[in-house]
Amino acid sequence: MTTNLSDKTTHRLVLGNARDLSCIESNSVNLVVTSPPYPMIQMWDEIFAEQDSNIQTALAQGEGKEAFKLMHDLLDGVWNEVDRVLEPGGISCINIGDATRRVNEHFALYPNHQRIQQRFLDLGHNCLPSILWRKVTNSPNKFMGSGTMPPSAYVTLEHEWILIFRKGDKRKFHTGAEKDNRLSSSFFWEERNLWFSDVWHLPGTDQTLDGTNLRSRSGAYPFEIPYRLINMFSVKNDNVLDPFVGTGTTIFAAVASERNSIGVEIDSNLIQSIFAQFNAECVVSLNYFIYQRLERHKQFVAENRRRLRNMNAHHNTDVVTRQEEHIRLNEIEGFQFHNSEVSASYTDQPPLLAKISDRNSTTREPSELVS
């Protein structure tokens, strides 16, 4: 099998408002992975109000439902652009949390996920099964409302949503090269069982931003989330868009997955922060992440050898299905800079522990690189 893959991917950072993606051609994006500002979560009030002063007025006057509507009206402009740039068959994955808030002495849930689902349905997209991201937490303070007395205690939200939509019908792969590339982008059988579960148990990411020129908080999610989604819903060399790129987690997950990416961010300081993280330490950390993925599969093989009847020659490992025989997880070689773009180059071999042996206790995990 020949994959005819490029040995490079391109990663483009754009300074601008996500409601205007005119820098991106229509029908040119295969996958959107993003986490927008969450309406009615207080840390995002200022970001929304800067774009529509009526939001601050509504909040000040205790009109929570009106503020909720106005915030989502702003996000609708982004989803309109996402619809335009996505190719037919393209997929959107949106991490969003619902909000609980007391406005004018009235406590209420603001169902962000329902509002976004409705917008994508109105745009003609197909709503696919969602994922509940259940955050692992040790917080002892779970009670809201009247504590242990009925009837005015409130359920605590301990999950967020990963909403998944498809623009039109399923994507088709026509040529032999396209089909080979799809096969090489496969995931392991045990990953299929884990990733396509509708509940993900993953810890959250510290959203505090360090640096005098950075805003105090970000909407960062753990590296594992965009990495899974990119590998689940795209193939190698696809174009992945994050219109709220923030600290760049989606960009680096695309690098590790051998996909191209575009990140849009309204804060120029965050753009510069992302560029600064394309360095040798990043190469080592991402390669180690890929290496660990292979090691987890080898552990699965060791525990289930009797069930495995197929072989992946590239990685010299047993696999469950024939599709997995063609998986190729390649080593990241390095980065090259071209104005607002970074290209990542790859070898045709998997990462080897001996080649990343300079990794020491000061080298960070991918999630730490972008948080």
**Is 359's pLDDT higher than 60?**
no
Of all residues in the chain, the percent with pLDDT exceeding 70 is 87
- In tens, the pLDDT along 42-86 reads 999 999 999 999 999 999 999 999 999 999 999 999 999 999 999
CATH superfamily of 8-137+155-302+309-369: Vaccinia Virus protein VP39 (3.40.50.150)
- In tens, the pLDDT along 100-116 reads 999 998 999 999 999 99
CA dist 261 and 280 (Å) reads 20
CA dist 14 and 81 (Å) reads 15
Mean pLDDT in residue range 200-210: 73
CA dist 66 and 46 (Å) reads 16
Greatest Cα pair distance in the chain = 67
- Cα torsion for 228, 18, 262, 25, to the nearest 10°? 120
**pTM of this prediction exceeds 0.85:** yes
**Is 221's pLDDT higher than 60?**
yes
CA distances from 16 to 54, 81, 148, 270 (A): 22, 13, 48, 12
- DSSP β-bridge partners for residue 264: 14
pLDDT for position 3: 47
Q: Where are the domains of the chain?
A: 8-137+155-302+309-369
Name the token pair of 370: 């972008």
- Report yes or no: 352 and 13 within 8 Å, Cβ to Cβ: no
CA distances from 89 to 138, 143, 170 (A): 40, 43, 5
Of all residues in the chain, the percent with pLDDT exceeding 90 is 80
pLDDT for position 315: 96
Q: Please list, in sequence order, all residues whose beta carbon lies within 8 angstroms of the beta carbon of residue 230, skipping any fewer than 6 positions away.
A: 31, 33, 240, 250, 253, 254, 257, 259
